[in-house]
Amino acid sequence: MTVADARVLIAGGSSGMGLALAQRCLADGAHVFIVGRNQERLNRAGKHLGGGSRLEAIVADVTRESDVAGLFARVGELDHIVCTAADIRGAYELLPALDLDAARRAVESKVFGPLLLAKHGAGRLAPSGSITLTSGIAAYRPLPRGTVVAAVNAALEGLVRALAVELAPQRVNAVSPGWVDTPIWAFVAGDRKDEMLDTMARRLPVGRVGRAADIAEAITFLMNSTFTTGTVLHVEGGHRLI
């Protein structure tokens, strides 16, 4: 099964890496479902992607089991499920200032959300299908203020390995991005976003930070690679080397 022939569900598909993946899959001929919590953002994404009969936008919160169950009842059979969704608002804080509700949101979006997608989506996937999740460099090179994000990314990678065993022959993998210029940096760095990304670009062996299209390319590889499962694919410009 190639992406060109596939039905692909992308949770988090209204922005950033998920939006870039949706654009790539549509260009390759797939039928794409983009899923997000905000109708306005989904509408903007649909306009950006050009709409068309092969694109459907669905409002759902992947951290709510009833939403996830309803989502899969609506979309029917699938070939690939991808989750790029993350809610880390307020989670990048030093421990004395850490708000536990923000930490819970990060855990729910990065661990419970993917778990629910697997629980309710595996039965809708073809045996040759795949689930691809999104980890991150914080699991390997955490920064001060990044305790919660490091922990949830590490937990997600453990989830990938366990799901790959339990759901076989369906494949389960993760992409682990490095620093990628996406809207999520507004929550991480605020007004210092450009400064921080420029500084990291000068440090990385590849000489630049990532683009959303870089991650979309990596996820597409994992969807198409029928001999890859239980794997974390690092797409981080050599960040782990510096």
Instruction: Please give the full DSSP string across 159-214, using - where no structure is assigned.
Output: HHHHHHHHSTTSEEEEEEE-SB-STTHHHHHGGGHHHHHHHHHHHSTTSS-B-HHH
Q: Which secondary-structure segment (H or E) carries 55?
A: strand 55-59
158 DSSP assignment: H
Residues involved in catalysis: 135
Residue 232: which of 218, 211, 217, 214 has the closest Cα? 218
d(CA 34, CA 14): 6
Q: How many CA atoms lie within 13 A of 111 on its CB side?
A: 19
Give the number of other CB atoms < 10 A from CB of residue 6.
21
Q: Cβ(111)–Cβ(155) under 8 Å?
A: yes
- Helix, strand, coil % in the chain, rounded to nearest 5: 50, 20, 30
**Buried b or exposed e, range 70-87, using 16+ CB within 10 angstroms:** ebbeebeebbbbbbbbbb
Give the number of other CB atoms < 10 A from CB of residue 187.
15
Handedness of CA 21, 23, 29, 33 (dihedral sign): positive
